[in-house]
Copies of this chain bind each other. A is one copy, B any other.
Amino acid sequence: MIIIMVPQTTDEHVEGVVARLDELGYGHHISRGVERTLIGAIGAPEGEKEMVAEQLSVLPGVERVVPILKSYKLISREHNPRPVTVHIGDAPVGGGHFAVVAGPCSVESREQMVQTATAVKEAGAVGLRGGAYKPRTSPYSFQGLGPEGLEYLAAAREASGLPVITEVMDVRQLEGILEVADCLQIGARNMQNYDLLKEAGAAGKPVMLKRGFASTVEEWLKAAEYIASSGTLDVILCERGIRTFEPTTRFMLDLGGLAAARRETFLPIVADPSHAAGVSSLVPSLALAAVAGGADGLLIEVHPRPDQALSDGPQSLTPALFAELMKRIRQVAEAVGMQM
């Protein structure tokens, strides 16, 4: 890291910083410019450098500290430069394989799940999504069917052959979910629920990590590092839109952030146009944009009767609209050289 001193810094202040670096086991390197003195700290032991940067920034005469290294390593391109393929059940995601996972927001009934699974599979989806546990902003909203929902997910998997991805919100749900899920989903609201990340990372299944809607790309990658450092590199990142001042869409799909994350990590990255759009009529545009913009897959909400959905009806496609969209997705995927 680089320590930038204030304009009128004194020798005493510079010596203070140097003494502290010494004490912490760092080497240093002083550079006196016309207007500023800079001190380079040499050798930053992993895991302490953010703390050390904070501590140094408080010393007298220090204007600011500029970090140089990244805070994630296991998931970084520096660790493994080549994109990898993660499998949800037997469906490959990433490394040239484009995967569409579809299904309702909430698991509502056995029929709903079996019907949806069969329909999305026929249209070309390779995975089934659906929540048995649902994070809802109001305590008075439908909170998911829980264990009963897991049962319906299992039935839908059985009927369709599609692998299942479902959200885990609390460590206590993990055991039940692991019996059914082929891939665990960490939702946007839990991206920084670190205890949950650690347990999910140690559970022995792939994990799909949604980006928090107020999280930076860097924080998202650090959250993935939590999972990776807990035991698995089978992590799929999912961009689902961030919060901005614009009220037209529910969230803003950050395809620039997706592209930027790809430069940093070898993990597959998919996009969720449904939660970003918030309304089904905008889902196709965002879905196609994500395909051309470099996503490795899509998570799309499909419900047989959006006007009767217990959650997220407005952003759900009917099976018919989904099938139509799949055709267009295939054309764009082909145009950008992805395999589906």
Indicate which residue in B68, B136, B314 contacts A58 across the interface (CB closer than 8 Å).
B314
Residue contact B243 to A2, C-beta cutoff 8 Å: no
In the complex, per-residue mask of A276-313: 1 if CB is within 8 Å of any chain B CB, else 0 = 11001110011011111110000000000011111111
Q: Assess A216 versus B139: contact at CB under 8 Å? Given A54-B312, A286-B259.
A: no
Known: A50-B141, A212-B214. A249 touches B256 (CB 8 A): yes
Among the listed stretches A33-41, A91-99, A109-117, A121-129, which one makes contact with chain B, having 4 or more residues with CB under 8 Å of it? A33-41
User: Is A222 positioned at the interface, with any CB of B under 8 Å from its CB?
Assistant: yes
Find the B residue at minimum CB distance from A273: B256
Asked whether B257 lies within 8 Å of A192 as measured between CB atoms, the reply is: no
Contact A139-B214, Cβ < 8 Å, known A288-B336, A309-B55: no
Q: How many copies does the complex hold?
A: 4
Cβ of A236 to closest chain B Cβ, rounded Å: 18
Q: B38, A40: Cβ atoms under 8 Å?
A: yes
Select the stretch in A82-90, A149-157, A164-172, A176-184 that faces chain B. A164-172
- Considering the complex, which residues of chain A in the window 227-262 have a beta carbon less than 8 Å from any beta carbon of chain B? 229-230, 241-249, 252-260
The answer to the question of A161 belonging to the interface, with a C-beta cut-off of 8 Å to chain B, is no
In angstroms, Cα B255 to Cα A286, docked, is: 7
A 23-43 to B, binary, CB cutoff 8 A, 1 in contact else 0: 000000101011110101011
Closest to A133 in B: B195
Q: In this complex, what residue of B is CB-closest to A190?
A: B193
By a CB distance below 8 angstroms, the chain B residues around A294 are 285, 288-289
Partner of A286, one of B291, B293, B306, B308: B293
The answer to whether the Cβ of A217 comes within 8 Å of any Cβ in the partner chain is yes
Most buried by B among A189, A290, A310: A189
Inter-subunit contact B245/A245 (CB<8 Å): yes
Within 8 Å by CB of A242, from B43, B59, B141, B244, lies B244
Task: Return A307 CB to nearest CB of chain B, in Å.
Answer: 4
A130-157 contacts to B, CB under 8 A, are 135-143
CB neighbours of A36 from chain B (8 A): 68-69
Name the B residues within 8 Å of A309 (CB-CB): 54-55
On whether A192 and B135 interact (CB within 8 A), knowing A248-B260, A285-B256, A286-B259, the answer reads yes
Please name 21 pairs of A and B residues whose Cβ atoms are closer than 8 Å in the assembled complex, sorted by A.
A31-B31, A35-B69, A36-B69, A38-B40, A50-B138, A51-B141, A55-B307, A55-B313, A58-B306, A135-B194, A137-B223, A138-B222, A189-B192, A190-B193, A216-B245, A242-B246, A252-B254, A289-B289, A289-B294, A332-B336, A335-B335
